[in-house]
């Protein structure tokens, strides 16, 4: 499998969200909340954008505290840790100078204590004029709308949801990344077996390459893979209680 970024419909959803934040009317509304189910490409989408924008990436942890976030941010930016206010001022100055966005993945872990960790990052982003991207599973999305978190929710300019791949997305994904070419029947089989989850589509692409090598073919048709499991759906097996 090739290893470049494929601009699917989810890429367009994310890009539209970023544009909404960048063109916001209120300077305080500097937050984008990105959600999606597992396998919809949240990490890949954000990583691609982060690399292009030289963003500062933080991964939320269970039980994270303000001290943890301060130390984490200092480590990622190279800003020397120090007294709280002095460090805060240095952080704001750093982001004003660099324009780097801030990304907090697994952002639900920052919601404890009235989202004090997210509030710390939000204040830096707002003062520096940069974007704060919060990333989490769709099931956590509703938590950001709680009344006690209005100070965060009212500063979210857009909240795109990444969706499972469509047939067109699946076709583009296989066309750009798979080392063997495939016909529409193969795309349909991959789409149905993966249920539009990109991790499984990647596994299917690798399986197709192995089948192509075994058959000494650089192009596969539906008849070549009929009845073959191209990607293992462990979640489906677990739900069925398969040992």
Find the helix or strand (DSSP H, E) in which 151 lies: helix 150-153
Q: Is the pLDDT of residue 113 over 60?
A: yes
Q: Report the percentage of the chain scoring pLDDT > 90.
A: 87
CB 119 within 8 A of CB 111: no
176-215 pLDDT, tens digit per residue, is 999 999 999 999 999 999 999 999 999 999 999 999 999 9
Q: How confident is the model at residue 148 (pLDDT cuts 50, 70, 90)?
A: confident
Q: What's the mean pLDDT in 168-182?
A: 97
Burial of 121 (0-12, 13-18, 19+ CB in 10 A): buried
Residues 78-105 as b/e (b if ≥16 CB within 10 A, e otherwise) read ebeeeeeeebbebbbebbeeeebbbbbb
User: Can you give the residue ranges of every domain in the chain?
Assistant: 9-162, 167-237
pTM score of the predicted model: 0.90
Give me the pLDDT at residue 236, please.
Answer: 60
Q: Is the pLDDT of residue 220 over 80?
A: yes
Q: Is the pLDDT of residue 242 over 60?
A: no
Q: How confident is the model at residue 238 (pLDDT cuts 50, 70, 90)?
A: very low
Q: How confident is the model at residue 240 (pLDDT cuts 50, 70, 90)?
A: low
CATH class of this structure's domain 167-237: mainly alpha
Give me the pLDDT at residue 202, please.
Answer: 94
Q: Is the pLDDT of residue 235 over 60?
A: no
d(CA 52, CA 101): 11
Rounded to the nearest integer, the mean pLDDT of the chain is 93
Q: What's the mean pLDDT in 58-70?
A: 94
d(CA 92, CA 51): 21
Fold category of 9-162 in CATH? Rossmann fold (3.40.50)
Q: Report the percentage of the chain scoring pLDDT > 70.
A: 95
């Amino acid at each position: 499998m090739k290893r470049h970024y494929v601009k699917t419909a989810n890429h367009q959803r994310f890009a539209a969200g970023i544009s909404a934040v960048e063109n916001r009317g209120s300077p305080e509304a500097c937050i984008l909340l990105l959600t999606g189910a597992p396998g919809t490409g949240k990490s890949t989408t954000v990583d691609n954008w982060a690399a292009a924008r030289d963003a500062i990436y933080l991964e939320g942890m269970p039980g994270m505290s303000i001290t943890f976030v301060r130390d984490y941010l200092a480590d990622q930016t190279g800003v020397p840790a120090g007294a709280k206010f002095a460090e805060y001022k240095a952080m704001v100055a750093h982001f004003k100078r660099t324009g780097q966005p801030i990304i907090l993945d697994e952002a639900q872990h920052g919601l404890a204590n009235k989202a004090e960790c997210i509030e710390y990052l939000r204040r830096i982003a707002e003062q520096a004029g940069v974007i704060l991207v919060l990333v989490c599973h769709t099931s956590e999305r509703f938590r950001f709308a709680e009344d006690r978190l209005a100070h965060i929710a009212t500063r979210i300019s857009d909240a795109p949801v990444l969706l499972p791949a469509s047939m067109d997305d699946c076709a583009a994904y296989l066309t750009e990344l798979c080392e063997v070419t495939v016909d529409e029947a193969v795309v349909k089989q991959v789409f149905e077996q993966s249920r539009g989850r990109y991790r499984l589509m990647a596994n299917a692409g690798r399986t197709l390459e192995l089948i192509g090598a075994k058959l000494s073919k650089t192009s596969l048709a539906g008849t070549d893979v009929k009845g073959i499991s191209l990607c293992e759906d462990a979640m489906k097996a677990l739900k069925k209680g398969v040992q």
